[in-house]
Structure 1
Amino acid sequence: MSAEIELKLLVNPAFAAFLSKEMASFKVLSHTQQVLGNCYYDTTDYFFSSQRMGLRVRTLNDQFILTLKTDGTTIGGLHMRPEYNCALDDASPRLNGLNQFADLQLSRPLEQLQQHLKPIFSTDFLRQAWEIELGNGANIEVALDQGEIEAQERFEPIYEAEFELKHGSLDDLLTFVESLSLSDGIRLGSVSKAKRGYRLAGIVPLQAFEWQHQWQQLLSDLSQAATASAALSRLFAYEQSLTEYYAELLTMPLSAAQLDSALQAFMTLYRYYAQHQSLLWQVYQQQVGQRLKVRLDQDSIEELIELNQRFLAKLTELSQLSGDENRTLRLHEFLHRGNGVKRQIYLIKLTLNG
């Protein structure tokens, strides 16, 4: 078993082209380009998806690797999860190789799962990868994936940039991504390729997010939080869910009422941030004096507060526009802002220890 720690960005083709050029600014230990074919499997009753796992066979240069990714932790676009890999002789998903991992505990025997496996969807993409060495010796793999997901003759494009920590600290990883030229048209992605594939296949549909109910529950939770750090962690988790829901919903035709609801949801969130700046300072003060591997400095706190206020003003301006098509486009652009990624990295640094 290995622990995968990566930050994922969903990007557009323009940013993908720009990122490949920007890598020349760093010390590149290696640069590879490979076509990866992946077939994801599950049982007839969808055991793996119900356990928030992903089982795939990857084909690379006539080599075959079985990978099981188990449920982990996602904070914004930061993914931390265990994964189990074993080599295969061919593309058939034989699970017996997973027996070598004593720490892998499944609620069903591998032999039983093997009998009921079937292919669900595939992801095929070109991966460019750069291994970067930072000045302090930390190593980060930057992977740019461009391709598509296919499920039941339906297709969805893949444009993702993944930053995986190979050696060093989480702070090295987050600060590296934060330092990049983060143009608009990107956002942090907390949904894996596996989950996107399950959605495209209609197995894990997009769940309705009743934000008014969720918001009232959140306010109750915040009032009972033991520490400011715990409160901010809960608030940021709500923001992640809200953003992922509406980012996907905006790819569909929306009614005027749905657009009004989306704008109200985000304005309510950012108004709370603007009115509760003290919460951010309290978490900052909790971090001061502690020996934390990831922390935020005072200048970044001030920038975070300024970004919250700027985003609230932008939402207020957006809410006053006329025309549903125009509002849809502008809200989509709002959710894919480069400085929005930087803002969320600040929040990740504040909440990792909460």
Structure 2
Amino acid sequence: MAKEIELKLRLQPEDIPALVSWLDNEATATGQKTLNNDYFDTPELALAAAHSALRIRSTNSGFEQTFKARSQSNSAVQIRHEWNWPLPERQLDPSLLALPEVQACWPEPAARDQLQTVFSTDFERRSWLYTAADDSEIEVVIDQGSILANGQSEPLCELELELVSGDDTAMWPLSEALHDVAPMWLSDISKAERGYRLAGVGSALFHGATIDAEGAGLPELAFDLQRALEYYLWSDGDLQAIWQSGYPLARLMSKESVLWQLLDKSLAMKSEHLLKDKAAAKALTRAVQQVAGMCTESQPGRESIRDRWDEARSQVGDVIECSETSSLSASLKQLLKD
């Protein structure tokens, strides 16, 4: 078993050349390859419901079966338990999923004898190895291709940072540097989840975590903000989800927090312009870091984080419920002034 510690960001294809140029100068190129992937689930989509993924990957060197269990958060980066097995052919081997250590993370409702292909992803991957100032090593990959399901396709364009060795916090300065090259948005929606939606068997999902008085659960709520922005910029999301996640988080921070600036930009700019705004994309990354810091720092005052969160969530919920679509932006902007 391995632990996958990564940051994933979405970007536009026209920004790839500038990123490739920067990475060629600042990191060591490690290759380019074509990857074809088949994703499996039960008819009831038990793996998707458990935020897990099972795939077979085909490359020029052979075939590999991978199972990824539900992700967890550490300092706002995603950590997933992952198993990889070489295969002699492009055919699922259910016996590998029966191993005790796998079964400890395997969703109980997912019957191994009912697994079937749901969708595929085909893309080109370019990779680099970056050495941080503290000697931590980070693999950087850019994936560009398509997600395929039910005779339909949608473009895939992502950049991933994965910790190879050292401290996972070293990924943040690298992310900041890359944000200066091109607008990239932190992503919490996996290739697998996008494939399910394209196949017509998935919907917009959120973590929906609860928090306690000390702030446990905040990173998952920050992931919900990432998701809301991602749906808004690339799919069929709306402002309501952004504000339902983002405004309560902003209320836990000072008015100088970049999250307040990001919320303001979400009202002032059309989605297609917000997508291309490097400062807005970087603001999300910094806001997520700030949320992670809140989980380890003592909070002033008697009022608990949970109470402040609940109050702000109720407040923004009331504004959304009482506002007409035409006046929603103005009503939300008033919240920023109060």
- Residue of structure 2 equivalent to 1:347: 290
Structure 1 residue matching 2:261: 3-state secondary structure: helix
- Residue of structure 2 equivalent to 1:83: 82
- Confirm or deny: 8 A CA contact 1:11 1:160 kept in the other structure: yes
Matched, 1:236 2:254: no
Q: How many residues are treated as equivalent by the alignment?
A: 295
Which of 158, 164, 177 is the aligned partner of 1:179?
177
- Residue of structure 2 equivalent to 1:5: 5
Measured against aligned partners, the alpha-carbon deviations of 1:135-190 in whole angstroms (never above 9, x if no partner) come to 32211000000100100111011100000001011111222212334355421110
Q: CA deviation at 1:195?
A: 0.6
Letter in 2 for 1:170: D
- Compared with structure 1, are the counterparts of its residues 353 and 147 closer, same or farther at alpha carbon in structure 2 (3 Å cutoff)? farther
- Confirm or deny: 8 A CA contact 2:274 2:280 kept in the other structure: no
What CA distance in whole angstroms lies between the structure 2 residues aligned with 1:160 and 1:63?
A: 24
- Residue of structure 1 equivalent to 2:232: 246
What CA distance in whole angstroms lies between the structure 1 residues aligned with 2:218 and 2:115?
A: 41
Kindly report the root-mean-square deviation, in angstroms, between the aligned alpha carbons of the 2 structures.
3.4
What CA distance in whole angstroms lies between the structure 1 residues aligned with 2:19 and 2:107?
A: 42
Matched, 1:305 2:256: yes
- Compared with structure 1, are the counterparts of its residues 265 and 72 closer, same or farther at alpha carbon in structure 2 (3 Å cutoff)? closer
Greater RCO, 1 or 2 (C-alpha within 8 Å, sep 6+) = 1
- Residue of structure 2 equivalent to 1:19: 19
What CA distance in whole angstroms lies between the structure 2 residues aligned with 1:342 and 1:107?
A: 31
- Compared with structure 1, are the counterparts of its residues 305 and 201 closer, same or farther at alpha carbon in structure 2 (3 Å cutoff)? same
What CA distance in whole angstroms lies between the structure 2 residues aligned with 1:164 and 1:146?
A: 17
Letter in 1 for 2:36: G
Measured against aligned partners, the alpha-carbon deviations of 1:216-258 in whole angstroms (never above 9, x if no partner) come to xx9xx77xx413x44854753552343244334448xxxxxxx
- Compared with structure 1, are the counterparts of its residues 23 and 240 closer, same or farther at alpha carbon in structure 2 (3 Å cutoff)? closer
Task: Name whichever of 50-59 and 3-12 sits farther off.
Answer: 50-59
- Confirm or deny: 8 A CA contact 1:7 1:79 kept in the other structure: yes
- Confirm or deny: 8 A CA contact 2:218 2:295 kept in the other structure: no
Letter in 1 for 2:156: I
Q: CA deviation at 1:42?
A: 1.7
- Residue of structure 2 equivalent to 1:284: none
Q: CA deviation at 1:124?
A: 0.7
- Compared with structure 1, are the counterparts of its residues 331 and 13 closer, same or farther at alpha carbon in structure 2 (3 Å cutoff)? closer
Which of 127, 145, 148 is the aligned partner of 1:147?
145
What CA distance in whole angstroms lies between the structure 2 residues aligned with 1:264 and 1:150?
A: 29
TM-score (normalised: structure 2): 0.74
Structure 2 residue matching 1:182: 3-state secondary structure: helix
5 Å-filtered alignment, 1:62-73, equals: 62-73=61-72
What CA distance in whole angstroms lies between the structure 1 residues aligned with 2:75 and 2:272?
A: 23
What CA distance in whole angstroms lies between the structure 2 residues aligned with 1:142 and 1:197?
A: 23
Q: CA deviation at 1:273?
A: 6.2
- Compared with structure 1, are the counterparts of its residues 201 and 102 closer, same or farther at alpha carbon in structure 2 (3 Å cutoff)? same
Measured against aligned partners, the alpha-carbon deviations of 1:290-322 in whole angstroms (never above 9, x if no partner) come to xxxxxxxxxxxxxx925344335434544xxxx
Unpaired segments of 5 or more residues in structure 1? 252-261, 282-303, 319-326
TM-score (normalised: structure 1): 0.71
What CA distance in whole angstroms lies between the structure 1 residues aligned with 2:61 and 2:25?
A: 33
Unpaired segments of 5 or more residues in structure 2? 298-338
Matched, 1:125 2:112: no
What CA distance in whole angstroms lies between the structure 1 residues aligned with 2:264 and 2:63?
A: 51
- Confirm or deny: 8 A CA contact 1:78 1:190 kept in the other structure: no
- Confirm or deny: 8 A CA contact 2:183 2:275 kept in the other structure: no
